[in-house]
Structure formats: structure tokens, C-alpha cells
Chain A
Amino acid sequence: MFERMIAGVKLALGLHHPARNLAVFPDDIFIVSYPKSGNTWTRFLMANLVYPEKSLDFANINLVIPDPEALSKRTLARLARPRIIKSHQYFDPRYRQVIYVVRDPRDVALSQYHFHIKRTMIDDSYPIERFVERFVAGETSPYASWGENVAGWVATRYHTPGFLLLRYEDMMADTQGELAKVARFLKLDASPERLAQAVERSSAERMRALEKKQAGKWSSTRNTRQDIPFVRTAKAGNWKTELPGAAIQRIETAWGPLMRWLGYAPFSSADGGGMATLLETVLK
């Protein structure tokens, strides 16, 4: 009851963080991804692309591309429009313009495992096999399972305007080319120089340097273990050497068809049937 009172007062003053209850405007643009899929990098790339006059870092990114989980309702409502908003939410029909970033779930699982250790939600000795088991069941995140999050968006929106699908792996291989897609999506006339500058300003080295200086100033790194970085390897394919075979098989069993559709070739012979049936049928 007491908790509900505090929540009520916060609600009254607009001080609560709205998260999924965000009041959406029709002109809002969302960067959506499952957690640990390159959302922060995309956020920096877009912020540096759209606001070349600003010097962006972990101390001010939240006000430029806001996170409805980290800002109050009141602050969010007062931001200049159109807003570009960061989100991890699974399908929400109110989001009309969505840039969706997807990453190989085998790398996502690995990255989330390290992130949960950083946030001291699990300790160093927690078995990764058990973590992956929970990851597949959607129990390691409030944003549904990886497959539910991706399939929910892709099945409802991939064929409609107002949706851009980016693969983290393509962004790694050709950052400027993928950012040009973002610019076209935003109807932004960006010169190659402007794109190159945004890429440069959002490099993993620069983000690592900023994190070292500003980890205490950013809601996502404040009060977490400082011996494990937020900006980690920034690489594709770590799962091949770091993820146990059983964990790989577990992931591929759950999401095989969807992974294949996204170009994430299976490593094991495991093949799931449960996920993304709709997509599969459209493909036939």
C-alpha cells in the first residue's frame, strides 16, 4: 500500500518513468531493439547524424535520444518534436515509425550474460548454460523473449512503410552504408562527409573512452560493476568461441526459422518449428 502511495504521488507529479506507458505522439521515431543488440551504438550514430552541431556523450544522450525507462513523463512530454526515442519494447502498434535493430541471438545471449554480471544480477560463477535456458524462455528480460520481440515487429511491420530493419552485423561490416539507409528513412539529405563524421564520432573506441570518463553519469552504467565495460567487444560472432554447444543448440531449437530468415545460419542440426510460423508461410 505504501509503495502504491509513493507511486501515486510520482504519478501525480509526472515524475514516474513511463516505459511501456509512454504517451506516444504520431510523429515520434523509435529506435527499437532487443537489449544488447547494438541499440546504444545506433543511438549514437543517429544522434551524431541528426545533430552534427552537438557534442554527444553518455552525459547528454538521454536528452537527445531519450529513453522512456530513464526519464520522467514530465521531461519526455517537454522534449522538442519530432522526438527520436530509444526503446526495447516488444510490439506496440502506437509506434508508427520504427528503426528496428536485430542481432544474432547467440551473440545477444552472450552479451546479456556479461551485462547481468556487470549489473550484479548474477555472479561470475553463474553457469552460462542455465542463463541461456532462461534467456530462451524470455525470463532474463521484461521485453519478452528475443524471438517474440523480433517476430512481433517483423511479422506486423516489415512489409509496411515506416519500418526499417537493420542487422547489427551489416552495420559492423558497412557502417556508413547502413547509416545512409537510416538517413533515407528519416528523409535526411546527408552528404558522405556528414555520414562519415557520424560514424567516426560513434566508433567503439570513442564510446569506450567516453564510458571510462562518464560511467557514473549515465543511467545504464551508474551503480554497476566498473570492472566490466558496457561497451564490450562490439564484434559479431563471439558466440562461436565463447558459447557452449548445448547453449547454441538450445537457441537454434527455439528460433531456427526466424534466425535463418535473418541470415543467421544454424551451427547445430537443431531446428525449431515453434517460432515465426507466419513468416515461414509467407515465404512459401
Chain B
Amino acid sequence: MIYGIRQILKYLAGTDIAGRNLAVRPDDTFIVSYPRSGNTWTRFLIANLLHPDEPVTFANIERLIPDSEAQSSRNLKRIPGPRFIKSHEYFDHRYPRVIYVVRDPRDVALSYYDFQRKYEQIEDRYPLEQYVRDLVNGRLSSADWGTWAENVGSWIATRHNGKNFLLLRYEDMVSDTASELLRIADFLELKTSPRQLDQVIERSSADRMRELEEQQSDQWVSTKNKRKDIPFVGTASAGAWRTQLPASSVVEIEAAWGPLMRFLHYELVTNEGLRATQEARELYAK
């Protein structure tokens, strides 16, 4: 009840977190992804692309590309359009223009494990195998965003190939940042030069972001009052799961999400994953 009253007062004052109740405008652009899929990096890239005169840091990113799940309704209302907004939401039909970043769920699981320990949502001794099982079955707080496959699938099934939807794979962004950034610029109809793109990539590099995090972690809403011994900017690489994820966890992820992983060209390495894909294909073919 007390919680209820606080929520209502916040609502009246406009200090409630916007989230799914965000008032969307027709000229908004959203950067959407499941958590731990390269959203912050993409945010830096796009903000640096849009604001060449103001290098992006953790101290100004919330102003340049606000986080709809960290900022209040009032703050977001005050930002003049066209707005660029960060989101982890599953499909929301009101989002007019969407850049969706997807990452191999086997790497997402590893990164999310570190992140939830950083946020003290789970303890260090919480076993990774158990964590992955909970993640796959939607039993963690991450399930607020749907499971990985629900989040990704709900956007791809509804918007992929549409002219206001750009699908980016984190892995492609890591291996060839310049061409993926060019795709972003084309999508946003921004004129750029190779020199400018180089500058954007440099200003958004993992090294620079790590340095900034060290200096500014208390100035950013997502790292303030969180454990400092686990960084927010993680490995910034693709394929860590091959050496770090227990084999049984790989099996569980592929068995649950194999069909969608195959669609996204994430190589399946377990028989369970291949079988799940075959079964889904047969089921949908009926």
C-alpha cells in the first residue's frame, strides 16, 4: 500500500520511470536490444555520430540518448525531438523507428551473469549452470524483458524487412565496426565521411569506454552504487562462451532457442540445438 502511494505520487509528479508507459512520439528513434547485447556501445556509436562536437561520456549519454528504463516520464518529456531513446523492451508497436541489436545468447548469458552479480541481484557463489537454467526458463528479473528469444523474436517477426527497422548483429559490429556503422548512418539518412566514421569508432572504443567507466561510474545512473570490482563494460568480444560456458548450459540454450539462433546465423554446436530446430521446422510446416 505504501509502495502504491509512492508510485501514485511519483506518477503525479512525473518522476515515475517511463518504461513501457513512455509517451512515444512519431519522430522518435529507438535503440533496442536484450540486456547485455551491446546496447550501450551502440548508444555511444550513434550519439558520437549525431554529436561530433560533443564527445560522448557516461556523464552526458543520458542527455544525448536517454534510457527509457532509467529516466522519468518528466525528463523524457522535456527532451526536444527528434529523440533517440535506449530501450530493452520486447515488441512495442508504438515505436516508429527501431535499431535492434542482437547478440549470441550464449555470450549474453555469460555477460548477464557478471552483470547481475555486479548489481548484487545474485551472489558470487550462485552457480553459473543454475543461472543459465533460470535465464532460459524466464525465472530471473531479466524475464521482465521476456526471455532472449521472446524479446528478439517479437521484434523480428513483426518488423524485420520493414523500412523502419534495422537489425544489427553484435558480432558483425565487433568484426567490422565501420561497415555496420555505415549501415546505421544510411538508415538514419546521415551524410558521413570515412574520417568522421573513424572518429566515431575511436570515441566509442572499448578501451575508451573502460577508461571513462573508471573515472565516471558514479556519474552514470546504470553504474552508480553498484559493485566496482565487476566492470559494466565487459569483454566487448564475441565467442567467449566457447571457452567459458559449461557444455550443459550450451545445450540448454540451444535446445530452447535453437530455431531463432539458426535464423540469426549463430552456429549450433549441440545435437539438442539441431534437433530443436528440426522439430520447430516440422511443427511450423504442419
Residues of chain A at the chain B interface (Cβ within 8 Å): 4-5, 7-8, 11-12, 20-21, 90-93, 138, 143-145, 147-148, 151-152, 154-156, 158-159, 261, 273-279, 281-284
Contacts and interface: CB of A to CB of B under 8 A. Distances in A.
SS of A interface (majority): helix
A278 B283 contact: no
Contact of B156 (A90, A138, A273, A277): A277
Contact of B283 (A11, A144, A158): A158
Nearest to A141: B93
B259 A159 contact: yes
A252 B206 CA distance: 46
B5 A12 contact: yes
7 interchain residue pairs of minimum CB distance = A155-B157, A144-B93, A93-B146, A148-B158, A151-B157, A8-B12, A91-B154
Given A155-B154, A282-B259, 17 more contacts: A4-B11, A4-B12, A8-B11, A90-B91, A91-B154, A93-B138, A144-B91, A148-B158, A148-B159, A155-B157, A156-B150, A158-B284, A159-B283, A277-B160, A278-B160, A282-B284, A283-B285
Contacts of B154: 91, 93, 152, 155-156
Contact of A156 (B7, B143, B153, B283): B153
Contact of B157 (A11, A138, A156): A156
A102 B21 CA distance: 27
Interface in B139-194: 143, 145-147, 149-151, 153-154, 156-162
Contact of A276 (B21, B150, B157): B157
Contacts of B280: 159, 282
A62 to B, nearest CB: 24
Contacts of A8: 8, 11-12
A152 B158 contact: yes
Nearest to A281: B263
A148 B263 contact: no
A90 B280 CA distance: 22
A138 B284 contact: no
A281 B20 CA distance: 30
Interface string B1-35: 00011011001100000001100000000000000
Contacts of B285: 283
Contacts of B153: 155-156, 278
B232 interface: no
28 contacts: A4-B12, A7-B11, A11-B11, A20-B20, A21-B20, A91-B91, A91-B146, A91-B154, A93-B138, A93-B146, A93-B147, A144-B91, A144-B93, A152-B154, A155-B153, A155-B156, A159-B283, A159-B284, A261-B284, A273-B161, A274-B160, A277-B157, A277-B161, A278-B156, A278-B260, A279-B157, A282-B263, A283-B281
Contact of B93 (A145, A159, A276, A279): A145
A97 to B, nearest CB: 14
A158 B282 CA distance: 12
Nearest to A159: B280
B73 to A, nearest CB: 10
A43 B224 CA distance: 49
Contacts of A277: 156-157, 160-161
A138 B96 CA distance: 11
Nearest to A261: B284
A278 to B, nearest CB: 5
A259 B259 CA distance: 21
A5 B12 contact: yes
A208 B7 CA distance: 44
Contacts of A155: 153-154, 156-157
Contacts of B260: 278
A273 B160 CA distance: 10
A95 to B, nearest CB: 11
Contacts of A143: 93
A90 B5 CA distance: 30
A90 B157 CA distance: 12
A155 B156 CA distance: 9
B131 interface: no
Interface string B261-286: 00100000000000000011101110
B112 interface: no
B90 interface: yes
A152 B153 CA distance: 7
Question: Most chain-A Cβ atoms within 10 A of its Cβ — which of B143, B151, B160?
Answer: B160
A11 B285 CA distance: 46
Contact of B263 (A159, A273, A278): A278
B284 A90 contact: no
A159 B278 CA distance: 12
Given A148-B91, A148-B93, A278 B162 contact: no
Given A152-B91, A156-B153, A147 B158 contact: yes
Nearest to B160: A277
A12 B259 contact: no
A275 B157 CA distance: 7
A155 B157 CA distance: 6
